[in-house]
């Protein structure tokens, strides 16, 4: 893993660990897109590693909101709950906002 991706995962690991130790009911980090992300479809660099780092601290992804930053790059706002708190939920819900949502509405029209 690259230095910056590792640093992001390490920072989230510490924050997620502190939140779970404090008994927090939710953890909501922001995942941004690297400046070097290619414009093609595919995995966004570092997001999988960051999600795995948070889940390794005892959290489970519950909901997921995605929008675009001021430069049009995706950024995500995942909501994690303590693992086991949402027993029976197998998939996270997704909310798309901003320009991405507008494109989806126009495509559906």
Looking at residue 25, the DSSP 8-state letter turns out to be S
Q: Which domains does the chain have, with CATH numbers?
A: 3-34+42-108 (3.30.1370)
**What is the pTM assigned to this prediction?**
0.71
pLDDT in tens, 26-39: 999 999 876 665 66
Cβ atoms of 62 and 20 within 8 Å: the answer is no
CA–CA gap between residue 45 and residue 25 (Å, rounded): 28
Cβ atoms of 75 and 67 within 8 Å: the answer is yes
pLDDT score at 35? 64
Question: With bands split at pLDDT 50, 70 and 90, how would you rate the model's confidence at 98?
Answer: low
Pairing of strands 59-68, 93-96: parallel
**Neighbouring C-beta atoms of residue 70, cutoff 10 Å:** 6
């Amino acid at each position: 893993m690259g230095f910056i991706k590792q640093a992001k995962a390490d920072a989230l690991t510490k924050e997620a660990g502190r939140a779970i130790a404090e008994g927090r009911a939710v953890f909501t980090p922001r995942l941004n897109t690297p400046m070097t992300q290619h414009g093609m479809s595919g995995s966004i660099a570092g997001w999988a590693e960051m999600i795995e780092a948070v889940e390794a601290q005892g959290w489970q992804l519950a909901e997921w909101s995605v929008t675009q930053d001021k430069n049009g790059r995706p950024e995500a706002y995942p909501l994690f709950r303590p693992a086991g708190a949402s027993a029976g939920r197998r998939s996270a819900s997704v909310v798309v906002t901003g320009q991405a949502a507008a494109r989806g509405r126009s495509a559906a029209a």
